[in-house]
Amino acid sequence: MAKVEKAQSAEALAALEEQRRQEQARERAKRVRQNAELGGLWSRRDFFGRLGWGGFGIFSGITLLAFVRSAFPRVLFTPPSTFKAGLPSDYAIGEVSERFKKEHRVWIVRVPDGFYALFAKCTHLGCTPRWLPVEEKFKCPCHGSGFRRSGVNFEGPAPRPLERYRITLAEDGQLVVDMGVTYRYEKGDWNKPGAFLKA
């Protein structure tokens, strides 16, 4: 008899379990109908779950994109810092050559005892001055700074003289201007060998 009672109680438990499952299914169906009537497709739990997974997906995508981009670094083209400026015989004594002003921002000045290369950038705010041959000076169009043929400032707001670039003679006899090396007057650099080429 105990076996019969045990079997009946097991059947009763199974029936209760089945009844509980059916009750939960009815509750879920009722909530879905209520959400549909209210216009909602998802429950709050569904919404935040999908929001979390969406955020994780976006973060993973951005991280992967950054990793892939790091494999292909951006390389900027930088023009060479040196250029050949022709033979010394191409320049007349007393000439301020503007041949390389547009391309390299350089004036090559020939004086009786040699050459020097001036950086065509005003030391006030970086504008490009103009050479005025009649007045024998460089004049900045932005704020009126004036520089002598040597590059020394004498009027306007420019705080210091123009800079010089290194100028040397190549093996083939041409002038070579190195824009990677600058010489500043106020530091005493104009007395250094590369600031002036004796010819």
Structural domain harbouring 23: 2-70
Q: So what's the pLDDT on residue 36?
A: 65
Residues 117 and 161 both lie in one domain: yes
Domain termination residue (choose one: 39, 70, 101): 70
Residues 113 and 194 both lie in one domain: yes
Residues 100 and 160 both lie in one domain: yes
Considering its fold, how many domains does the chain have in total?
A: 2
With a cut of 70, say whether residue 156 has pLDDT above it.
Answer: yes
Residues 60 and 149 both lie in one domain: no
Residues 138 and 175 both lie in one domain: yes
Q: How much is the average pLDDT of 95-103?
A: 88
Residues 98 and 44 both lie in one domain: no
pLDDT in tens, 8-52: 677 888 888 899 999 998 988 887 777 666 655 667 778 888 899
Please tell me the least confidently modeled range out of 29-38, 79-88, 141-150: 29-38
Q: Decide if 175 contacts 99 (C-beta within 8 A).
A: no
**pTM across the whole model:** 0.59
Chain centre to alpha carbon of residue 62: 20
